[in-house]
């Protein structure tokens, strides 16, 4: 997949100054990103499998790229881990392998094929010292006590919709766009937290 199709990760204003981090969005807050799914049949098959297995608990899915010789600065989701768990399935790791650090713990090395989960509200960062990008499938799964209760689910999604409102507007624009070319026009708006 061409790197130019990956968009800057910019759900929160603090993320927007992280040029080493780019994503290929497939689902944003349960909204499927039609054009991107059409461009990535293998990723779409994974999304469909996740959707079948997780149902309404599947919240976000994207391919995440850490640029070569890049550092995704410490960041966190800010939801205190009460809504969802973030998963990374490591797809492609250049050598020397990229490292992931959560809070002040010692970093661990990404290994292809490994799936790991973590609390996205804890500060975390990625170091990729290799000359090639690191790719993971990143997805968020709502906690079962929330996903299975329509009222609790909606109450949990409402603040996320507010925080990610520009991302959701961008998804709506992308889904309504007649072509990929119109989807890829740069967006100048960023979310505010």
Q: Which pLDDT score, from 0 to 100, does residue 58 have?
A: 95
What total number of domains does the chain contain? 1
Asked if 108 contacts 100 with a C-beta cutoff of 8 angstroms, the reply is: yes
In a domain, 42, yes or no: yes
Containing domain of residue 159, as a range? 19-177
**What pLDDT, in 10s, does the model give residues 59-101?**
999 999 888 888 888 877 766 677 889 999 999 888 887 888 8
- Domain containing 40 — which CATH number? 2.60.120.330
Instruction: Please report the DSSP string for 76-113 in residue order.
Output: --SSTTSSEEEEEEEEE--SSPPEEEETTSPPEE--TT
Q: What's the predicted TM-score (pTM) here?
A: 0.82
**What pLDDT, in 10s, does the model give residues 133-183?**
889 999 999 998 888 898 988 888 888 887 777 777 877 887 787 766 665
In a domain, 6, yes or no: no
In a domain, 11, yes or no: no
**What pLDDT, in 10s, does the model give residues 117-131?**
888 888 888 888 888
Q: Which pLDDT score, from 0 to 100, does residue 70 have?
A: 85
């Amino acid at each position: 997949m061409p790197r130019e199709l990956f968009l800057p990760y910019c759900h929160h204003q603090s993320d927007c100054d992280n040029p080493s981090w780019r994503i290929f969005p497939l689902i944003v807050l349960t909204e499927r990103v039609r054009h991107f799914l059409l461009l990535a049949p293998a990723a779409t098959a994974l999304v469909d499998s996740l959707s079948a297995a997780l149902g309404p608990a599947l919240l976000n899915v994207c391919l995440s790229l850490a640029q070569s010789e890049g550092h995704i600065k410490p960041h966190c989701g800010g939801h205190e881990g009460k809504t969802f768990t973030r998963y990374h399935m490591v797809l492609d790791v250049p050598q020397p392998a990229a490292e992931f650090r959560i809070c002040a713990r010692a970093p661990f090395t990404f290994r292809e094929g490994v799936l790991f989960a973590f609390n996205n509200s804890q500060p975390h960062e990625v170091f990729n010292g290799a000359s090639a990008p690191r790719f993971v499938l990143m997805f968020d799964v709502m906690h079962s006590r929330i996903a299975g209760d329509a009222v609790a689910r909606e109450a949990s999604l409402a603040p996320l919709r507010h925080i990610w409102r520009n991302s959701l507007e961008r998804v709506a624009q992308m889904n309504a766009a007649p072509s990929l070319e119109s989807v890829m026009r740069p967006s100048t708006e960023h979310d505010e937290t």
